[in-house]
Chains A and B, each alone.
Chain A
Amino acid sequence: MGKVKAKSGPLARRPDNSAFKQQRLPALSTMLTANTVLPFFYFLSLISLVLGVWLLLTVQSTQENVLQSGDVFFYYGLRNFHQNLRRYMISRDDGQMVGRKNRLKTPSSYCNPFIKGQNGLPIAPCGAAANSIFNDSFILYYHGSSASLARVPLLRQGLTWYTDKNIKFRNPSTGNMTLAQVFEGTTKPPYWQKPVYERDLLDPNNNGFINDDLIVWMREAAFPNFKKLYGVLHRANTPFTHGLPAGNYSIDISYNFPVQYFHGRKEVVLATLSWFGGQNHFLPVAYLVTSGLILLLAVVLTVVWWKFGKDGRNMEE
């Protein structure tokens, strides 16, 4: 046991008198007492109440002003689409998407069964996740006072996390070749209409693997009901400089994505934001409810303490 000590003398084997070895380390001894617990509960109840009210007010105010001012975000939503199935989630090749050329031609086996196309060529981007990309397109029209249809301008870029756009997704280095040449020898995923290098021919920074729609889709949703960012209102011109003006709108949907394959629904969401994220009624309500519950608990605790523990008789042995 222990180290052999070079001590000698009559008390050679006496253990050290250190606080650690004698288990006398200075310490704070904690106990749940009324003095700490009750104020703590009331305090937390108050905190929750304040937070809840604040969040609720924020949500309410942003909702009222939804169409008047601020950024407006255009989402598409899917219901009952399971992006979170295990086999679906792993059916992708991050190595390919980050632009590794060897992975372009020999995708990871995880992409099964979308590794090779029917012509035997490797699929880029491979895997079930990329293959099932949402491919409806939307055009939003504003029925202004002039009875003419004004197309609402949507920014279709800047929809992704910075890290995704710049780090996680990259095109293979092109050198002096075109993107199409780099992707030569690969084939498009079977459900796609166009190959990956033709996703946005106008803007090379939105084409190939770094196409915003692709990146948004590839950030797989945690739950079967989800919404994904489609575009942001471009507020450069009137009448949209202060958001969407009140009035009638219509949406032109080019319908490509088959709903019957997942017994689900598609939806379109227009939303504005608050400081704590999207239109989220859950947090404010939850905080208000929690505040009430804590208060209730606090009162119960107080009563119990008052009846039993106040004079310390319950602590008598």
Chain B
Amino acid sequence: HLRANDRPFNLSYRYANNAIKTSKYNIFTFLPLNLFEQFRRLANAYFLFLFCLQLIPQVSSLSWFTTAVPLILVLGITAVKDANDDINRHRTDKQVNNRRVDVLVDGQNEKWMNVQVGDIIKLENNQFVTADLLLLSSSEPLNLVYVETAELDGSVSVCVRVCVCACDDSVYLSSGEVRCEPPNNRLDKFKGTLTLDQQVSSLDNDKVLLRGCTLRNTEWCFGLVVFGGPDTKLMQNSGKTVFKRTSIDHLMNVLVLCIFGFLATMCTILAIGNAIWEVKEGSVFTAFLPRENGIDASLSSFLTFWSYVIVLNTVVPISLYVSVEIIRLGNSFYIDWDRKMYYPKSDTPAQARTTTLNEELGQIKYIFSDKTGTLTQNIMTFNRCSINGKAYGDFCFLFSLQKTDKVDFSWNQLADPKFVFHDHSLLETVKDGNPEAQTFFRLLALCHTVMPEEKTEGELVYQAQSPDEGALVTAARNFGFVFRSRTPETITIMENGRKVVYELVAVLDFNNVRKRMSVIVRSPDGRITLFCKGADTIIYERLHPSCSKLMEVTTKHLNEYAGDGLRTLVLAYKDLDESYLGEWRQRHHEAVTSIEDREERLDEVYEEIEKDMMLLGATAVEDKLQDGVPQTIEQLAKADIKIWVLTGDKQETAENIGYSCNMLREEMKDIFIVAANTAEGVREELQIFNPPGFLIYGKEKISTACMCQTVICCRVTPLQKAQVVQLVKKYKQAMTLAIGDGANDVSMIKAAHIGVGISGQEGMQAVLSSDFSFAQFRYLQRLLLVHGRWSYLRMCKFLQYFFYKNFTFTFVHFWYAFFCGFSAQTVYDEWFITSYNLVYTALPVLGLSLFDQDVNDRWSSRHPQLYSPGQLNLYFNKKIFVRCMMHSCYSSLILFFIPWAAIHDTVRDDGKDIADYQSFALLAQTCLLVVVSIQLCLDTHYWTAVNQFFVWGSLAAYFAVTFTMYSNGMFFIFTSAFPFVGTARNSLNQPNVWLTIFLASLLCILPVVAFRFILIQLRPTINDKVRHKVRKEALPAPPPRRPPPRRISTRRSGYAFSHAQGYGDLVTSKRFLRPLKSRPALFIQKDSVLAQNEPQHYRTISEEPEGSMSP
């Protein structure tokens, strides 16, 4: 409830002003809030808990720094990152808040942050909209305002908003009252009322200008601020992104929980051991080591439990999560950097918009793809035609390899230079004045709903509802029948340079049932003709019997075109006489003005006139596939990825596309077309192509469909796309990927595990809600088969190795417990414990998980079978984890008992002590590090210089750091922190120490090598096989590009219309035929039931943004 221009009144309601704050912290709250945020993560909280435990002297078995240093490091890195993000947010906030805008009330320029609710402000062209505004008036006729909603929903298209009223200037100073709903995040809904001079008018979404839009093509407009700052729909919508987590994440969490349980078990065993020891041995040893006051054996064992929790905490490694993040980030950068996923034509590199999902890319089982704009370019080319039984344009197919000369259209000044046609004879026929050919192209130039736009003389741009129509009109244009301009009553075309104005008598618009469109025109010489184009079956029923011969020939041509995957239309015409037309128009008028059954009556009227037509010929339009789509699909299919195409197209079109992208092949005999409702309520027509020929109807449809290699769902709405994805997710528990380019794919992209957006086309909405984006469908192959596979492989290797090294490290403590009276004495030096994960082993494992490749990218794409282990989760799962634990257990046994046996009863070569604790600690930790490093080398398949440097550097660093920490200087400065003074010097010069290290390494590593070797020999994995092949062969030559084999098919293709209701109404209505300035064509598609239910395919003409899809 607010009043215009009445600040005191509005302020009394305490509405939010227009200042926004997206930053989370300020200087004082940063530390506490950020720490609080961080400690909400389980791992951090756990380590904080450990740290607190260590502060209890009775329990503390390790110095405080062993946990504190890693924890502070991890927290520090995260805090720095958060701080950096927040500073950026502060900066943009400040910039946005300080933008200036004209405020009407006091006629001055105000900063955005000072704008209050109820102010009337003036916006100018190309300005950002300050707040959510109620539009009052604008400079444009009809009080329209054009806005770009890029920031809101990502589409760069321009939309129209209507001003509330034709308010005149006096209104601005009077005070109207607005009542509206409270702030919410629905972008597509607004409800309210405006009271002005006791007149109440209702307000809806059309009259509101939302913050985040940009004013376009509009000189100025006035608006009343309804919501400001945090109340605006933009802000209400932000910050609710759903985090996707990968299956590895889930597995990791489960494993960490298992590890907690395991840790508790180990600690319990050791605590019991301690109790027994305390009773049997400790009680007498109290002479040397008195118990502390009030501590008996049972309490001691309780304390020991916690002490061992601290000692063994390294089974849950603190650096795990940080390392995982780093690896994912690194692998995401590789995607951004990949030149082979860069599309030079639109200067678009691939982009990993989410950096946390990489390894999931290696496990995809189902791909859900949009058709238009994803598989196809959404560019139609006029390829062939059949005029009066004669086919033209054939040879571009016969000689597709050596292209024939292009037809030269330079004689025609209005020709579209981009148009390419290869058959000279057609042009000659037209020039010779062949009447059929002339009529053919005249029809194409007249019968359509395209809007022309002529910016400068001769430079025509067509705005077509469907690209098919655009292609046809362009073809006519190049063959000398240039569609020039239209008014509601006339169509002007240039026939071979001669201007002819046709009177447009009626447009018999396209719709789904009719599957045809007609126009009735009166030529300047008074001839009245009905031109009709439409689907072959429909037109054939309505032809004059005299055409039957021509029909046969044309049908032959049509079949040929369909076999080549072209979209066909049949053209026909009919001459009408004046009297009949007058009569018909009468009935037509009645039908139009009738209130009941308007649609049906119109159809009847149309039906009546569209009969006994004369066949002219047929056109074939190629729905151009994107480059490399068939090959990509073939490769993905070989990788055992199931591809589902979800399209809003009708069945024939979808089927046709299926054939042309190699998804369906002729040998797939059993094609089942299912039209049924699934129990889950997804109303869809599933076309199931099932090579084994096996199908169960009914509720098990999904499971059946999942068995098929290829599924094409047609006539699905955006919502149904998402439902299909969710069904598969739910029933198959498989990884899904959705790829699409348009707003209608957003829901599916969000629903799938991974969403991929095709970028570089108009409309960024899909990209904005996607996790990865690139410009061409074919890059999907590289994204999955190369990047995804590598990411998955690396992550799995990383996890496996990481768990191995930490378990091995920790289990040694466990064995030592049996020798030290379960007193929670550590085996290693505390400093070693602190830096083991952070310094000595951090970089080598990162090197492994950032650089490793089993085979390089060429081999990866040559052997798509390499992908299947990822789908089956083979590289890392619970079984592998258990195996990894067993391996650690073995290693730790060796790593403890070999040094123990070698050293416990021996002395140095000069008779002095070496069986002391410090020497043993040094020996054990050196053995451990050496073994763990060799194990890493075994796991590394791809040795770059960086890997070498990391491994050798880390070992060198270990010895350097050890000698430094055990040096005199460190001892004198921090006496109690470095008690190991001299240990390195005194024991690492002993031969038996090195002999022990060598022995331990042999015993740890050789069984692993032998085991792996035997596995390779007996049951080689696909990776082994390919690697074996790699070693034997040179690099594979890139496969030669075969031209797609010509299909001989009887399948008839779809036809060239979109499925939305045509724009016939608009073409003939006056409202939108204002002289256009240089701006995109503007059509409002009213929220008819049809428009909502039908998928919208061709976005050449912008649609209203669908609010529910906005991010």
Contacts and interface: CB of A to CB of B under 8 A. Distances in A.
Interface string A1-32: 11000000011111111000111111111111
B338 A278 contact: no
Contacts of A304: 1013-1014, 1017-1018
Interface of B is mostly: helix
B1024 A315 contact: yes
Interface string B273-316: 00000000100110111101000000000000001000000000
Contact of B284 (A162, A222, A260): A260
Contact of B909 (A55, A91, A220, A274): A274
Interface string A62-102: 00000000010101000010111111110101110010100
Interface in B783-812: 790
Interface in B871-921: 898, 900-921
A192 interface: no
B1009 interface: yes
B1020 A314 contact: yes
Residue of B347, B913, B943, B1002 most packed against chain A (CB within 10 A): B913
A64 B981 CA distance: 37
Contact of A15 (B339, B825, B1014): B339
Contacts of B823: 82, 84-88
Nearest to B986: A161
Contacts of B975: 94-95, 98, 100
B379 interface: no
Contacts of B334: 21, 23
Nearest to B334: A23
B956 interface: no
B1052 to A, nearest CB: 40
Nearest to B341: A15
B1012 A1 contact: no
B337 A82 contact: no
A132 B288 contact: yes
B390 interface: no
Interface in B958-988: 968, 971-972, 975-976, 979, 981-982, 985-986
Contacts of A80: 281
A40 B1006 CA distance: 10
A15 B821 CA distance: 61
Contact of A1 (B285, B351, B1013): B351
A160 B824 contact: no
Contacts of A21: 333-334, 337-339
B338 A15 contact: yes
B1010 A41 contact: yes
A44 B986 contact: no
Given A13-B348, A94-B979, A273 B911 contact: yes
Given A29-B942, A222-B915, A14 B1002 contact: no
Q: Which of A55, A216, A222, A315 has the most CB of B within 10 A?
A: A222
A86 B1017 contact: no
A28 B338 contact: no
B986 A163 contact: yes
Contacts of B946: 25
Given A273-B909, A297-B1007, A14 B289 contact: no
A14 B344 contact: yes
B825 A305 contact: no
B760 to A, nearest CB: 11
Interface in B988-1038: 990-992, 995-996, 999, 1002-1003, 1006-1007, 1009-1010, 1012-1014, 1016-1018, 1020, 1022, 1024-1025, 1027-1031
B912 A159 contact: yes
B685 to A, nearest CB: 38
Contacts of B903: 222
Given A14-B344, A161-B913, A277 B991 contact: yes
Contacts of A227: 905, 907, 915
Given A22-B337, A89-B825, A94-B976, A220 B916 contact: yes
Contacts of B1017: 304-305, 308-309, 314
Contact of A161 (B287, B855, B912, B1003): B912
B982 A163 contact: yes
A138 B760 CA distance: 91
B42 to A, nearest CB: 29
Contacts of B944: 25-27
Nearest to B978: A94
Contact of A128 (B289, B915, B1007): B289
A286 B1002 CA distance: 11
B465 interface: no
B398 interface: no
A27 B999 contact: no
B820 interface: yes
A312 B288 contact: no
A100 B865 CA distance: 70
Contact of B1002 (A15, A44, A100): A44
A48 B995 CA distance: 10
B438 to A, nearest CB: 42
Nearest to B948: A28
A162 B999 CA distance: 28
B913 A222 contact: no
B349 interface: yes
A255 interface: no
A86 B986 contact: no
B344 to A, nearest CB: 6
Contacts of A216: 913
Contact of A280 (B790, B851, B905, B981): B905
Given A163-B982, A223-B900, A315 B911 contact: no
Given A88-B289, A228-B913, A261-B287, A301 B982 contact: no
Contacts of A71: 911
A317 B995 contact: no
A222 B919 contact: yes
A267 to B, nearest CB: 11
B439 interface: no
Q: Which of B289, B824, B903, B1020 has the most CB of A within 10 A?
A: B289
Given A27-B944, A219-B918, A309-B1016, A1 B281 contact: no
Interface in B51-65: 61
A113 interface: yes
A11 to B, nearest CB: 6
A219 B1023 CA distance: 53
B1013 A22 contact: no
B369 interface: no
Contact of A85 (B820, B918, B921, B996): B820
Interface in A111-135: 112-113, 128, 131-132
B942 A131 contact: no
A256 B29 CA distance: 65
B635 to A, nearest CB: 16
Given A32-B1009, A317-B1022, A222 B916 contact: yes
Contact of B1016 (A32, A100, A160): A32
Interface string A193-222: 000000000000000000000001001111
A108 B825 contact: no
18 contacts: A2-B337, A15-B336, A16-B337, A23-B334, A41-B1009, A86-B823, A86-B825, A108-B976, A132-B289, A164-B982, A222-B919, A226-B915, A261-B287, A271-B911, A277-B990, A280-B905, A282-B905, A316-B1025
Given A84-B823, A219-B913, 11 more contacts: A16-B337, A21-B337, A23-B334, A25-B851, A29-B1027, A88-B289, A163-B985, A168-B982, A222-B916, A222-B919, A283-B992
Which 4 residue pairs of A and B lie closest in terms of their CB atoms, listed nearest first?
Answer: A163-B982, A222-B920, A21-B337, A278-B907
Interface of A: 1-2, 10-17, 21-34, 37, 40-41, 44, 48, 51, 55, 71, 73, 75, 80, 82-89, 91, 93-95, 98, 100, 108, 110, 112-113, 128, 131-132, 159-164, 167-168, 216, 219-229, 232, 258, 260-263, 271, 273-280, 282-283, 286-287, 290, 294, 297, 300-301, 304-305, 308-309, 312, 314-317
